[in-house]
Structure 1
Amino acid sequence: MATISYTSLSTFNTGNPNNSNSTSNQILNSDILVGNTDEIAVLAKLFPFSPEITEKIIGYAYYLDSPHVTTDNYVAHGITYEDYENSASSRKMLKTAVSSSASNVTRGRYSNLSNLMLVNSGFYFFCLQYQYKYCSFIRSFSFHKFLLNLLKSNELGYYVEYLDFQEFTAVGLGKSVESIFKIPNLTSVTLLKCLQLCSMNLKTLLLNESIDSDISFEVLDFIFNDLKNLKSLDFCGCSNENLISYFDKLTINNENLKLEKLSFHECLHLPTTTYSKILPFIPNLKRLDLSHTQVTLKTLNQFLNKKIRLTHLSLRKCSHLGTFTEFMRFLKHPAICGSNEDDFEYERDDKDNDDYSEKFQLRWLNIQQCFSSDVLTNEKLNSILDIIAAGAPALRYLNLNGFANLNGEHVRKITESFKELESLNISDVNLNFSDAHDLEIIKELNSLKNLKFLDVSSSVWSFEKLKNLITELDFVQAIEIKPVLSDKLSHLLTFSRIDESGDYSEEYWRAYNNKGTSRRCWIHKVKSVEESILIDNYETEQAGGRLVEWDINSGDLLLNKVKKVDWLGLASVKINCCEDIDYPLQDEDFGNDLSVRGLYKYYSLKV
C-alpha cells in the first residue's frame, strides 16, 4: 500500500523506474491513500497524461463554472420577452439539460471535483488538493465535519490556503444567543485547533461578526505570531468588547509577518490604540480597510510604516479622524500619495521600471463621508484632488460620496487627472442633469475610456435626468440610482443614441435591484433582450427562487441558463481581501463574483 504526501507534484514524474526507491523516500510520509500499488512509478498509469498536465486539467475544471452559467460568448437567438413568455420552444432554448445522474451540478467549482474524484485513486489525490484549498463555512456543523477530517488526516491541513467565515451565521437555526454559545462545533478551542492544523500554507483568513465571540486571546495571538504565510486577514464587523482587551494584551513577535491585506471594516468598537499595536509590524501591507472605525489620523501618521506603498485604502465613515490639516498631512504620507522616492523601498530590483512603480501606486481610495460637507469646502476638495493626482494618478476607484460641495470644477479635475478610472462615486455632485451646461461637463467623462461604473444617485431623481445622463455617456456600463427611482422604472429600458455619422442605434438598460430587496439599486447596460433574461434568471437563482424542471423524454434535469453581472466589484465600498491569485479571470483590484457574497456582500454592497 503506497501513500503520497503533500510535496511537489514533480516527484511523481520519476522518469526511470529504477529510481522509484529514492523517490519513495521523498514522498512516502503521509496517510493520504493513493491506491493499491507497491511502486510509485505505477502511479503514472492512472493518468491519461503526465501527472503535471493532469493536475493542470483538474485545476481548470476546479475554476470552471456550472454548466448553466453562460459567458459573453452566448449565441444570440433574437428572443423577445413575448417569445420567452408565450413559447415553450423559446424558453427551452435558454435552458441547459444535465444528466440526472450528475452530482452537485449547480454548486460551482466543487461540482466538477466531486465527479472527477470518482475516476481513480490518482484523480482523487489531485482533487483533494483543490477541494481543501478554499474552505468556506456557512454553518457550524460544516466546520465540525471539516475539523474532524483534519484531525483524522493531519496532512489535509497542508492543502488549506483559504479559511473563509464571511458567510458563517447562526441565523435560521431557531436557537437563542445563549444556546448558540453552547454549540461545541465552533468555539475558541476548535477554531484555534483548526488554525494550528492549517498553519503551514494558510494565506487568507476571513472572519466576521458571527464568530467574533469565538476569537480568544490565544486565537488572536496565533493569527499574528504563528501563521507565517498569512497574506490576507479580514475582521469584518468584529466588535466584541472582549477583543479590545485581547488586542491590548497582544504582543507581535513575528518579525516575518507577510500580511499584505488587512481589513477592520465595520469594527465599530475597537479603539485607535488597536491599530497602533499592529500597523508598525506589517512591512508588506498593500491594502488597508478601516471603514467605520475609531481610527485617528494621529495614529495613522505615527504608526503607518513609511516604507510601504498602499494600493488600496478605505477611511469610509471614519468620524474620529481629526482635523482637515491632519488629513492633508496624512495624504502626503509616503505610504499614501507621498512623492519622496527616498522614503520608499520596493521589494524588487527593477524599482526604476515605470510599469512596476505604477503597480504599487494607490489604485483604490474611499473617503466617503469621512468629513462633513461643512468641513470639506470647495477649496479643500480642490486641495485633496491635487495631492491625490500628484501621488496617485493611476487610481481605478475613487469614492467621494457624501460631499455636497463637489461641483463641475471637481469633475473636470478628476477627468483630467485620473485617466485609469473605472469606478467613480460622486453621488452628491452639485450638477443639474436637465441643464445643457452641466451635461457638457458630464460629457467630458467620455475621455475616461475605462470608466464603467458611475454613482451620481443623489443628483438623479427623475427618468428625464437619467435619460439625459445615459445618452451623454459612451463607456459607462452601470449607474447607481436611488431605490425610489428604481421603483418607477420599467424592468428593461430602451434608449436611442445618435452616433457621429448621424445614425440611430438602440441601447438596452436593465434595472438591477435584487428582486426588489436591495438597499442599493443600479441600472446597467445589456447587449440584448436575451442577455437581460439570462441575468433575470441569475437574480432569481440568487434569491433562492430556482424551480426544478425535468425533461419528460430524456429524464435530464433542466437548468435555466444564467449570466452573472461583471460590475458588482466596481460598486463595492469594501476593499476586496478575498483574492484567488490562481483564478485567471479575476480582476486584480476588484475581484470577481466569488468575492461578493454573504455577509461580505451585505457590507460591501448593502444589498
Structure 2
Amino acid sequence: MISETSTMRLPSEIVYEILSYQFKDLMSNDHSATSEKYHSNIKTFLGSNSTVNRTFHHVCRVLIYRYLNFTTARSFHKLLNTLKEDDPGLRKLVEVADFQELTSIGLGRTGEMNRMIKNLTNETLWEFLLLTKNTLREFLASEHIQGDIDERIVHFLLSPGTVLSVVDFCGCSGSVFTKQFVTAVEKMAAHPSSRENFQITCLGLNDCTDIPDNTLSKLLNLLPELQKLDLTHTAIDDGTLINNLPHWKNLTHLSFGECLQLTPRGILEFFSYHPAVTDENNNSTLQWLNVQVHPHTSTWTDTQTLFLLKKLCQYGHNKTLEYLNIGGLPLHYSDDRTLIKTPHYYQCHDSLQFIKLNFPALKSLNIKDTNVPYDRIIQFLSPVHDSDIEVEQKLKFLNISNNSYINRWTIQDPALFTCSDSLVSLELSFDSWQQIENLNDRHELNCFKNKTGRTSIIQDIKNMESVKWKCYIDSSYGRRYWLYKCDPYLNRENIDQAASLTRYDSDGRKIIEIVKQPDFLKFAQNKIMLGCGIVPMNSARRRLIYKDMKPPISRFFNRDGRFATPGTHAMPILSPRLPPGGWRLIRNDDEDTTTEDDASTIEENSPIIHNSFQSLTSIPETRPPLVRENTRDAIYWDRSATSADPTLTESEYENAETDYDYLNDPELQRRRSQMSLFNSYHRSSSKNNLNNNNNGNTSNLTNAFKQHSQSQSQSQTSLPHYLSTPSSEHYKKNDKNKLSADYVYDPNEPEMNKRYRIHYEQLQEYKVFGTVERGMYRYYSLKT
C-alpha cells in the first residue's frame, strides 16, 4: 500500500499515469452495459481519489472532463451551465463530446416535449462548440441529435480553423439533416481559398443514407488528410468512387460495406488504379477494410473476389491488413494444391487458401453469408505444414454465420475448436449456437487438444490438454451469437457470475469487482473505431489521429511537474504537412561529392523558397551558403533529416525542446533505470576516450568503442549484486507491505512474461482496432 506521505512526493506525471489506468479499469466495468453504470463508476472514481490532495484533484478533473458522455439532454444542459459559470480552465480540458447514448426513451417524454424544454437544441449545441472550440478533438453524433444539427454546426465541424480531428455523423439521416448538411458543404466548396481541412483525419458517415453522392464527392475533396473513412450504407456510386475521390496518402481504414450503388466493376477499378490505394509512395497501406455486400442483391462472382484479393497483394495491403470483411462475396474452392510463387503473392486456385498464405497479419475475417464447406474451414484454420512456406497464422476471429454447412450436427466436431492455436472466437448462426448453449447449464463446450500437434485415431490422454469454449450473447448488440475460447486474462469464463455477486471485506466495505467485456468483441466490429476512446491506451494512436507534431510528455502537466497553463492548447493545422525530412543544399563541385559540412538550410529570402516553398519559411538558417564560382547548387529533400515544425517561429524553433532531447537526456536516463545507471560507468570511460580523440588520437576512439561493446556484452551475462534478480526466498523474508528497492523484472518467470506479452499485443491491436466502448461504438459496431 502507498501511504499518504508518499503520495505527496509522487511526481504529477506519475499520478496522472496511475489514475489513468484506474480510471480506464473503472470505465471498463460495464456489465451490464447501462448509462447508470457509467455514472456510478465515475462517482466511485471521484470518491476514492479527488480528496487525496491537490494533484489528485486536478488529475481527476482532467480525466472526467476530457471525455464527456451525454446520456440525456438535461445532463448536457447542466454541463453547459458549468462550463459557462466556471473558470475558463475547465472548458479547456474538454476533448471529446460523445452524444452516442443520448436518448429520451424511458423518460416519459415525446419529441415535442424535448423541443419545448430546450435543454439540447441547435442553439445550446452551438454555444457548447464555441466554448470548447480551442480544445475539442472529437465530435461523435448520432441519430438522436440529427434534428439539432443545423447548417452552422455542420460548417463549424468540417471547416478548417479548429483542432477537431474526428467527426462522426453515424446514423444521421432524414430530410431536415440532409438539407442542412448539403447546404453547409456547398458553401464550403464555393470558397476555394480556405476550403481544405488538413486537420480532420477521421470521418464517419455510417448509415447516412440520404446524403447525395455529389455532396459526398465535394466533401471528401475538402479533406485531403483522411486516414479513416467510414462510408458504410451510403449513396456513393462508381463515378464518385473512381473519378472524384482525392489522393489520400495516409489511408489506413476504409469501409464500403453495404453501399448499394457500388458495383463490382467500380470497386475493382478503384483498387486497381486509384492512387489512394495503388501509389507506392503513399505513407501507409490499408489495415482495416470492409467491402461486405448483400448476397441476394450482389452481382459479385468468385473470380472477381479472387481478383480483388490479388490487387490487395499487388500493392502491399496484404502485409498490413488485420481486419478484412468480405461477407457475402462468393469464394472459389479447389482441390488443386499447386502453389506458384509470384513477386507479390502465392498463386493458388482456392480463395481461402489464398487468404491464408498471403495475408499473414490478418486477425479478423468476416465471410458471413458464404456457404463454405466444413472441411474447407478446418483446412483454412489448420497450420501450414509445408516447409517451403513460412506462414504463421494470427487469425483470432472468424465470422461464419449464415453458412448452411455449419449446423447443429457439424458444430459439435471438436476439430473446429482445436485446429487453430490463435483463434479465440467464432460467430455463428442461431441454430448452431443454440446447440452449444443447450449442451449443459454452463453453456460451454470442452474439447481436448493434442499438445504435440499430431493427429491420430488413438490419442494418449497424457498428451491432451483441455480447451474450453463458451457461449456469449448480449441483447444490446442485436441478433449476433458468439463462441469464445476462455482464458484467465482477456476472455474470462465467469463474466455472468462475477457480475451478479456482491462481495464485502471484513470491515463491511463493498469490494468493487471489475468485470470487463470479452476482449474478442473488438475483432467482431463492423464499424470503424474512429477516436482514441475514453482513455488513450498509448500515444501512438493519439499522435496519428490528432497529428500533434510535438506532443508534451504529459498533456496536462509541464516538464517541471507543475500544472499546465489553461491557455495553452494545440494550434490547428492550416497547410499541408511536408513528408518527414528537410531541405538540404547539394554542391556541384568537380569531385561531385557532398559532405556534411556542405549541407545547409536554404535562406528564407531565397527566391526558390519564396516562390515555390512558402511553407518552409519557418526553417531556421544554420549558416550562410558557400559561394563558389562556376558551379550550380541545387536543393533536394533529405528524408533522413528532421523536419521542422511549421507552426513555430524561427526563434521558438531554435529554443524548443523536442521529445527526443528530453527522453534521451543522460541524467533522466540515469534516474529512470538502474540498468542505465550501471551502463553509465562504461559511458564515462568511453567519454574520456572520445575526448582524447579530439586531440588527434584515432586509436583511442577505436578502443573506446571496443571497450563499450565488451561492457555491453558483459552486462547481459553478469550483473552486480544490487541488480541481480531476487530469488523466491527474498520475497519470503521481506515484509509484504514494503516495496523492495532492488526489485528487477525476472525474465525467467513464465507467468510474468505471458502477461507482458499479452499487454504489448493489446497495445499493438489498439492502434488498428481501438476499443469497443460505450454508446455507438458498441451498438453500431456489433449490431446485426
Common fold: TM-score over 0.5: yes
Q: Is the 8 A contact 2:288 2:321 kept in 1?
A: yes
Aligned residue identity for 1:522: W
2:494 to 534, 545, 560: 534
What is the SS of the residue equivalent to 1:588?
Answer: helix
Relative distance call for 1:169 and 1:547 in structure 2 (3 A) is farther
In structure 2, how many angstroms separate the alpha carbons of the residues matched to 1:455 and 1:601? 17
CA displacement 1:74-128 (0-9 Å, x = unmatched)? xxxxxxxxxxxxxxxxxxxxxxxxxxxxxx9984466334432212344323322
Relative distance call for 1:371 and 1:390 in structure 2 (3 A) is farther
- Please tell me whether residue 112 in structure 1 is matched to residue 45 in structure 2: yes
1:384 to 274, 288, 308: 308
Relative distance call for 1:151 and 1:160 in structure 2 (3 A) is same
CA displacement 1:558-581 (0-9 Å, x = unmatched)? 455634311111000000013247
Identity %: 28
Q: What is the match of residue 407 of structure 2? A: 461
1:187-206 equivalences in 2 (<5 Å): 187-206=121-140
1:423-502 equivalences in 2 (<5 Å): 423-433=364-374, 435=375, 439-443=378-382, 447-459=391-403, 460-465=406-411, 467=413, 468-490=415-437, 491-500=443-452
- Please tell me whether residue 575 in structure 1 is matched to residue 528 in structure 2: yes
Q: Is the 8 A contact 2:246 2:276 kept in 1?
A: no
Q: Is the 8 A contact 2:226 2:248 kept in 1?
A: no
Q: What is the match of residue 243 of structure 1? A: 177
Q: Cα distance, 1:338 vs. partner?
A: 0.6
Q: What is the match of residue 215 of structure 2? A: 274
In structure 1, how many angstroms separate the alpha carbons of the residues matched to 2:218 and 2:384? 42
Q: Is the 8 A contact 2:203 2:226 kept in 1?
A: yes
- Please tell me whether residue 135 in structure 1 is matched to residue 68 in structure 2: yes
- Please tell me whether residue 48 in structure 1 is matched to residue 48 in structure 2: no
Q: Cα distance, 1:254 vs. partner?
A: 4.8
Relative distance call for 1:123 and 1:254 in structure 2 (3 A) is farther
In structure 2, how many angstroms separate the alpha carbons of the residues matched to 1:197 and 1:455? 44
In structure 2, how many angstroms separate the alpha carbons of the residues matched to 1:152 and 1:302? 50
Q: What is the match of residue 507 of structure 1? A: 467
In structure 1, how many angstroms separate the alpha carbons of the residues matched to 2:117 and 2:358? 54
Deviates more, 1:303-312 or 1:399-408: 399-408
Q: Is the 8 A contact 1:168 1:210 kept in 2?
A: yes
Q: Is the 8 A contact 2:25 2:514 kept in 1?
A: no
What is the SS of the residue equivalent to 2:469?
Answer: strand
Q: Cα distance, 1:388 vs. partner?
A: 1.2
What is the SS of the residue equivalent to 1:210?
Answer: helix
Q: What is the match of residue 602 of structure 1? A: 779
In structure 1, how many angstroms separate the alpha carbons of the residues matched to 2:98 and 2:323? 25
What is the SS of the residue equivalent to 1:480?
Answer: strand
What is the SS of the residue equivalent to 2:768?
Answer: coil
Q: Cα distance, 1:373 vs. partner?
A: 7.0
Q: Is the 8 A contact 1:135 1:162 kept in 2?
A: yes
Q: What is the match of residue 414 of structure 1? A: 355
Aligned residue identity for 1:134: Y
In structure 1, how many angstroms separate the alpha carbons of the residues matched to 2:135 and 2:384? 45
In structure 2, how many angstroms separate the alpha carbons of the residues matched to 1:207 and 1:286? 19
1:74-473 equivalences in 2 (<5 Å): 107-108=40-41, 111-153=44-86, 154-225=88-159, 228-250=162-184, 251-252=187-188, 253-321=194-262, 323-334=263-274, 336-341=276-281, 344=282, 346=283, 360-369=284-293, 375-391=299-315, 392-393=317-318, 394-407=320-333, 409-433=350-374, 435=375, 439-443=378-382, 447-459=391-403, 460-465=406-411, 467=413, 468-473=415-420
Unaligned runs of 5+ in 2: 32-36, 189-193, 335-349, 386-390, 438-442, 455-462, 539-761
Aligned residue identity for 1:555: G
In structure 2, how many angstroms separate the alpha carbons of the residues matched to 1:69 and 1:420? 30
TM-score normalized by structure 2? 0.59
Q: Cα distance, 1:365 vs. partner?
A: 0.5
In structure 2, how many angstroms separate the alpha carbons of the residues matched to 1:307 and 1:531? 37
What is the SS of the residue equivalent to 1:62?
Answer: helix
Q: What is the match of residue 520 of structure 1? A: 480
In structure 1, how many angstroms separate the alpha carbons of the residues matched to 2:85 and 2:133? 17
In structure 2, how many angstroms separate the alpha carbons of the residues matched to 1:333 and 1:319? 22
Aligned residue identity for 1:473: S
2:23 to 52, 62, 74: 62
Deviates more, 1:254-263 or 1:234-243: 254-263
What is the SS of the residue equivalent to 1:258?
Answer: coil
Relative distance call for 1:501 and 1:572 in structure 2 (3 A) is closer
Q: Cα distance, 1:193 vs. partner?
A: 0.6
Relative distance call for 1:276 and 1:401 in structure 2 (3 A) is same
Aligned residue identity for 1:454: L
Q: What is the match of residue 95 of structure 1? A: none
For these two proteins, the number of residue pairs brought into alignment is: 503
Aligned residue identity for 1:583: M
Q: Cα distance, 1:46 vs. partner?
A: 10
Aligned residue identity for 1:62: F
CA displacement 1:133-192 (0-9 Å, x = unmatched)? 111111111111110111112332211111111111111111122222323111100111
Relative distance call for 1:282 and 1:67 in structure 2 (3 A) is closer
- Please tell me whether residue 565 in structure 1 is matched to residue 518 in structure 2: yes
Q: Is the 8 A contact 1:280 1:305 kept in 2?
A: yes
What is the SS of the residue equivalent to 1:288?
Answer: strand
What is the SS of the residue equivalent to 2:56?
Answer: helix
Relative distance call for 1:67 and 1:499 in structure 2 (3 A) is closer
Q: Is the 8 A contact 1:157 1:199 kept in 2?
A: no
Q: Cα distance, 1:277 vs. partner?
A: 2.1
In structure 1, how many angstroms separate the alpha carbons of the residues matched to 2:68 and 2:333? 46
Which entry has the higher C-alpha Rg, 1 or 2?
Answer: 2
Q: What is the match of residue 457 of structure 2? A: none
What is the SS of the residue equivalent to 2:90?
Answer: helix
Relative distance call for 1:398 and 1:105 in structure 2 (3 A) is closer
In structure 2, how many angstroms separate the alpha carbons of the residues matched to 1:236 and 1:105? 22
Q: Is the 8 A contact 2:196 2:224 kept in 1?
A: no
In structure 1, how many angstroms separate the alpha carbons of the residues matched to 2:30 and 2:264? 48
Relative distance call for 1:604 and 1:569 in structure 2 (3 A) is same
In structure 1, how many angstroms separate the alpha carbons of the residues matched to 2:490 and 2:767? 30
Q: What is the match of residue 11 of structure 1? A: none
In structure 1, how many angstroms separate the alpha carbons of the residues matched to 2:770 and 2:226? 18
Aligned residue identity for 2:425: A
CA displacement 1:477-503 (0-9 Å, x = unmatched)? 000011222222231110111233652
Relative distance call for 1:494 and 1:176 in structure 2 (3 A) is same
Q: Is the 8 A contact 2:241 2:270 kept in 1?
A: yes
Q: Cα distance, 1:604 vs. partner?
A: 1.0
Aligned residue identity for 1:382: L
Q: Is the 8 A contact 2:490 2:519 kept in 1?
A: no
